[in-house]
Amino acid sequence: MKRVVVFGAGMIARPLIEYLLKHHLRVVVASKEFSPAIDTLLEVSPQGEKVVVDVTDEAAVESLVSQAEVVVSLLPYTIHEKIVRACLKCRKHLVTTSYLREDIKAYQAEAEGKGIIILMESGMDPGIDHMSACRFIDEVHSRNGVVERFYSYCGGLPAPNAANNPWKYKFSWSPRGVLLAARSGARYLENDEVVEISPEHLFEHCVPRNINSHQLESFPNRDALPYQQKYHIEEAHSVFRGTLRYPGWGKTMKSLREMGLLEVQPLQGVKSLSRKEVLGRIFHRYPGREVVEKVRSFLVNILDGESEEVFQRLQWIGLFGDETMETDTTTPLDFLNTLMFRKMQYQPGEEDMILMEHEFWVSYPTGKEKVHLTLEERGYPGKNGATAKCVSYPAAIATRLILEGKIKRAGTTIPVEKEIYQPILDELEELGIRFIENREKMGEHLLPG
Q: Of all residues in the chain, what percent are helix, strand and coil, respectively (each to 5)? A: 40, 25, 35
Q: Are 51 and 30 in contact (CB under 8 A)?
A: yes
Say what the pLDDT of residue 374 is. Answer: 99
Q: Quote the CA–CA distance of 319 and 278 in Å, as a whole number.
A: 9
CA dist 150 and 241 (Å) reads 8
CB distance 199 to 183 below 8 Å: yes
Helical (H) or strand (E) element with 187 = strand 186-190
Give DSSP secondary structure letters for 351-389. Answer: PEEEEEEEEEEEEETTEEEEEEEEEEEEE-TTTS-HHHH
SS3 of 208-270: the string is EEEECCEEEEEEECCECCHHHHHCCCCCCCEEEEEEEECCCHHHHHHHHHHCCCCCCCCECCC
Instruction: Report the C-alpha gap between 420 and 6 in whole angstroms.
Output: 20
pLDDT of residue 446: 47
Alpha carbon distance 221, 130 (integer Å) = 14
Residue 250 sits at the vertex; the CA angle it makes with 352 and 216, to the nearest 5 degrees, is: 50
Across 22-165, the runs of DSSP E, i.e. the strands, are 26-31, 48-52, 70-73, 93-96, 117-119, 146-158
Task: Look at strands 367-379 and 70-73 and give their pairing.
Answer: unpaired
Helix axes 36-44, 14-22, angle to 10 degrees: 10
Q: CA angle at residue 206 from 203 to 207, to 5 degrees?
A: 175
> In this structure, which long-range contacts are made by residues 174-179, counting pairs with CB atoms below 8 Å and at least 24 apart in sequence?
174/10, 174/11, 174/76, 175/337, 175/340, 175/341, 175/344, 176/76, 176/333, 176/334, 176/337, 177/76, 179/262, 179/333, 179/336, 179/337, 179/340
Please state, in angstroms and rounded to a whole number, the distance separating the CA atoms of residues 204 and 186: 12
Read off the pTM: 0.93
Domains and CATH numbers, the chain: 3-96 (3.40.50.720), 128-247+348-386+434-446 (3.30.360.10), 266-330 (no CATH)
Contacts of residues 137-145 at CB distance under 8 Å and 24 or more positions apart, as own/partner, are 137/231, 137/232, 137/233, 137/360, 138/232, 138/418, 140/360, 140/362, 140/364, 141/232, 143/364, 144/364, 144/365, 145/362, 145/363, 145/364, 145/365
Of 40, 44, 57, 53, nearest to 5 by C-alpha is: 53
At 444 the pLDDT is 57
Are the beta carbons of 61 and 53 closer than 8 angstroms? yes
**Pairwise CA distance, residues 219 & 153, whole Å:** 9
449 residues of the chain, pLDDT tens digit each:
999 999 999 889 999 999 999 999 999 999 999 988 899 999 999 999 999 999 999 999 999 999 999 999 999 888 999 999 999 999 999 999 999 999 999 999 999 999 999 999 999 999 999 999 999 999 999 999 999 999 999 999 999 999 999 999 999 877 888 999 999 999 999 999 999 999 999 999 999 999 999 999 999 999 999 999 999 999 999 999 999 999 999 999 999 999 999 999 999 999 999 999 999 999 987 777 789 999 999 999 999 888 999 999 999 999 999 999 989 999 999 999 999 999 999 999 999 999 999 999 999 999 999 999 999 999 999 888 999 999 999 999 999 999 999 999 999 999 999 999 999 999 999 999 999 999 999 875 444 43
Contacts of 289 (CB under 8 A, 6+ apart): none
